[in-house]
Structure 1
Amino acid sequence: MLRRWLLLLPLSLLCLGCFQIREPEPADAVSDWISPTQIDILLANFTSAVQRANATNYERCFSGPAYRFVPDPTAAGTATALFANWSVSEERDYFNSLRRRMGPGATNQLTLTDRRDQLFTADSAEVSALYQLRLTQQDTAFRAAVVEGNIRLLVRRRNNEWKIAGWRDQRTSTRGSWTDVKKFFITH
């Protein structure tokens, strides 16, 4: 019995390191996601995800394989091929690239104004609004701190949740547009 105890003692000491108490991981902002049963909730989730640079919630705003982004033609310039097959995957990649260039605790500011909704069916609508996006990022090669334009979102409801199925960007001033942000951060 003593011999068995002496054999198990070193093994049990080694296992103690397996169960060390560690600091809890920070709560992810996924908790501020609200099931988008209304278009207003979808837009609130989208705005919050952009402002807090929450990639998980940002991606959750979009619908699957049929999603497409249509860039502002002047901002796309010679990079039209870049946007030819833009899908949710590219949305995630550009957003993560932007997020990596933000300082700790930094937030963006997104303001949507002059919103107009056009319902096509009970499960399909277009939301049009003017946007102003104030970016907080540290890449000195991207100089625009504020971009603005017109955002047109095709939204669809499936399983009682609204998602963005399409996005058309349009420049409205001499400032950059959201297309400029996507173009830069997907390639850098």
Structure 2
Amino acid sequence: MRNIVLILLVALLLTGCDLFSVRDSEPPAVQIPWIDFTTEVDSLLLNLEYSYEYPQNAVNYARLFSSDYVFHFAPQDVSDFSIEQTWTRVQEQDMIQVLHNRYKNMQVTLEKVDDQDQIESAQAKIYRQYNITGISRNEGKEVLTLAEGNMELHLKKEYGYWYITKWYDYRSSNVPTWGKLKYENH
């Protein structure tokens, strides 16, 4: 008798705690945009934007560049701020991690400069005006213009995929350039 009462008591407790009820599944995790196969120039440019806009893509950032990649700082930045003239893929990867630690909600806008792009089957030169905004993680909620200027990208296609081989940065206003933003965050 005691066993039957115990079984009934346990059954009553289990039905009261919804242990056997069906529950709703959790929604899927938000997919972070990234294009794995950069077979088109535009795909590579989108991935460049995604690397800055989504901190989770910082690990993919180095995949944008060829092994012999070189970034060329704006000549005015080199002379005005004693910035080195060039740096490499390794320095780029280090910089993107620091940048994401200092800023959030970054937005990159790349605008075509007339019809200057020169795209061939295995190499290309791309010209864009850029604007980068973000919010400092230390100073609040104000959206800041982090960089503004012009860039010239030299690309090559290897094994069917586009990579950046050279990046030239140019100043266009008094706002810091992309290169200066990189240099301050390395």
TM-score if structure 2 supplies the norm length?
0.73
Residues 27 and 176 of structure 1: CA distance in aligned 2, closer, same or farther (over 3 Å): same
What is the CA deviation profile of residues 83-120 of structure 1, one whole-angstrom value per residue up to 9, with x for unaligned ones? 44x10000011111111123xxx32111111243113x
Q: Which 5+ residue runs of structure 1 have no aligned equivalent?
A: 1-25
What is the CA deviation profile of residues 28-79 of structure 1, one whole-angstrom value per residue up to 9, with x for unaligned ones? 84x6333100101111111111111321222211111x11000012223343
1:93-132 aligned at under 5 Å gives the runs: 93-102=94-103, 106-115=104-113, 116-119=116-119, 121-132=120-131
Q: Does 2:172 match 1:172?
A: yes
Q: Distance in 2 between matches of 1:89 and 1:169?
A: 18
Q: Could you tell me which amino acid in structure 2 is paired with residue 90 of structure 1?
A: Q
Query: 1:43 is paired with a residue of what secondary structure?
Result: helix
Q: Distance in 2 between matches of 1:110 and 1:27?
A: 20
Aligned to 1:15: none
Q: Distance in 2 between matches of 1:134 and 1:35?
A: 27
Q: Distance in 1 between matches of 2:136 and 2:165?
A: 27
1:143-158 aligned at under 5 Å gives the runs: 145-146=144-145, 147-158=147-158
Number of residues of Structure 1 aligned to a counterpart in Structure 2: 151
Q: Could you tell me which amino acid in structure 2 is paired with residue 111 of structure 1?
A: T
Query: 2:127 is paired with a residue of what secondary structure?
Result: strand
Shift of 1:145: 2.4
The structure that has the greater radius of gyration is 2
- Moved >6 Å (runs of 4+): none
Q: Could you tell me which amino acid in structure 1 is paired with residue 66 of structure 2?
A: S
Q: Could you tell me whether the CA contact under 8 Å between 1:98 and 1:137 is conserved in 2?
A: no
After superposition, the CA RMSD in angstroms is: 2.3
Q: More strand by proportion, 1 or 2?
A: 2
Q: Which 5+ residue runs of structure 2 have no aligned equivalent?
A: 1-28
Aligned to 2:35: 33
Q: Could you tell me which amino acid in structure 1 is paired with residue 106 of structure 2?
A: N
Q: More helix by proportion, 1 or 2?
A: 1
Q: Distance in 2 between matches of 1:182 and 1:129?
A: 17
Shift of 1:170: 0.3
